[in-house]
């Protein structure tokens, strides 16, 4: 009889949170196994949550708003119902509200339909939320290389260790290093101006990162032109791969003769003396110190 009362109490007792659950002596044996099974069943339960009680959380994984994709998802759910539940946690700020671990597009689609969201609810701290979100992302085929790289970069900026980032994305340290090489070299504003670029891939992003050093950020953003992100990526890569434009050659003239040409650049001036100017060029080489001294004296006189 006492055993039945104990099992009844276990069935009616509220399930402790994952963080608060501690392995006591009473957790061992048959009673501990029953208690653990009850808690596992509760954690796997699917509930319906009003969409207006659900807030975003974690790290943004997409660049594009994907309005067309959400509309298609909304139509599918309207016809067949929500087949796959989302994962939520209880809000860390507002009691009675929830935060999305993963399933943002499904929540947005259900919100548009005015229907409650089928969801599993877990007790997760911020670290576990990010890891769960990253693991779900790593299994998705529709996230591009740069979206996953940006996810890794945001984790790094948030102070997560490299091992945690690897575990979250199910990627080894070498790949993570290459991802962060791209996000370190290419300003985030430029990455967002380009977009997801699903066809670009790792190697082309690494090629862009290798060439982007020293380029003004506004110049790169201006180059990101095109109707879709793949086109914008190609435009930026082409802009930084093109050889720099040579300044226009200006003719150098003497007394009725063309001595050669001159080019004025941002960092240097180039004078080429040929034809009638060749002999003058030889003389200039021999007397350059005297010419320069005369120029300095004239500059000094102008400053007085």
- Quick check: 14 pLDDT over 90? no
- Quick check: 178 pLDDT over 60? yes
Is 196 within a domain?
no
Is 230 within a domain?
no
Higher pLDDT, 135 or 230: 230
CATH number at residue 119: 3.90.1530.10
Is 191 within a domain?
no
Is 114 within a domain?
yes
Tokens of 296: 């300095």
pLDDT above 90 coverage of the chain, percent: 25
| Structure confidence at residue 251 (pLDDT) | 86
Q: What is the mean pLDDT of residues 96-119?
A: 90
When divided into structural domains, the chain yields a total of 1
Whole domain around residue 86: which residue ranges? Answer: 45-124
Residue 53's alpha-carbon distances to 61, 93, 95, 96, 156, in angstroms, are 21, 12, 10, 8, 30
pLDDT above 70 coverage of the chain, percent: 79
Q: Residue 190: which pLDDT band, with cuts at 50, 70 and 90?
A: very high
| Structure confidence at residue 170 (pLDDT) | 81
Count CB-CB contacts under 10 A for residue 57. 20
| Structure confidence at residue 36 (pLDDT) | 52
Q: Residue 63: which pLDDT band, with cuts at 50, 70 and 90?
A: low
Is 265 within a domain?
no
Average pLDDT, the chain: 80
- Quick check: 297 pLDDT over 80? yes
- Quick check: 282 pLDDT over 80? yes
Is 171 within a domain?
no
Q: Residue 291: which pLDDT band, with cuts at 50, 70 and 90?
A: confident
Distance CA 38, CA 43 (A): 9
- Quick check: 182 pLDDT over 90? yes
Is 104 within a domain?
yes
Comparing 59-73, 260-274, 283-297, the range with the smallest average pLDDT is: 59-73
142 phi/psi in degrees, rounded to 5:
-95, 0
pTM for this structure? Answer: 0.57
Q: Model confidence over 17-30: pLDDT tens digits? A: 444 443 344 445 55
Higher pLDDT, 131 or 108: 108
Tokens of 132: 């769960």
- Quick check: 109 pLDDT over 80? yes
Is 50 within a domain?
yes
């Amino acid at each position: 009889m006492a055993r039945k009362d104990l099992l009844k109490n276990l069935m009616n007792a509220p399930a402790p949170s994952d963080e608060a659950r501690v392995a006591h002596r009473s957790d061992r044996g048959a009673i501990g196994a029953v208690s653990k099974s009850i808690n596992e069943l509760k954690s796997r339960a699917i509930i319906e949550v009003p969409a207006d009680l659900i807030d975003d959380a974690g790290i943004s994984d997409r660049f594009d708003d994907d309005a067309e994709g959400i509309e298609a998802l909304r139509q599918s759910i309207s016809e067949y119902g929500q087949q796959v539940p989302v994962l939520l946690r209880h809000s860390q700020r507002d009691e009675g509200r929830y935060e999305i671990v993963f399933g943002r597009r499904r929540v947005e689609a259900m919100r548009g339909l005015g229907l409650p969201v089928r969801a599993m609810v877990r007790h997760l701290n911020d670290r576990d939320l990010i890891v769960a979100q990253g693991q779900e992302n790593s299994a998705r085929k529709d996230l591009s290389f740069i979206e996953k790289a940006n996810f890794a970069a945001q984790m790094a900026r948030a102070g997560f260790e490299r091992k945690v980032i690897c575990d979250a994305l199910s990627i080894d340290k070498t790949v993570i290093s290459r991802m962060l090489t791209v996000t370190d070299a290419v300003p985030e504003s430029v990455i967002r101006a380009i977009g997801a670029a699903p066809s670009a891939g790792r190697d082309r992003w690494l090629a862009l990162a290798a060439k982007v050093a020293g380029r003004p950020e506004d110049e790169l953003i201006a180059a990101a032109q095109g109707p879709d992100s793949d086109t914008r990526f190609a435009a930026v890569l082409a802009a930084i791969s093109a050889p720099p434009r040579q300044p226009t050659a200006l003719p150098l003239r003497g007394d009725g003769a063309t001595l050669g040409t001159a080019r004025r650049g941002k960092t240097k001036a180039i004078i080429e003396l040929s034809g009638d100017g060749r002999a003058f060029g030889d003389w200039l080489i021999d007397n350059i110190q005297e010419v320069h001294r005369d120029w300095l004296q004239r500059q000094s006189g102008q400053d007085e």
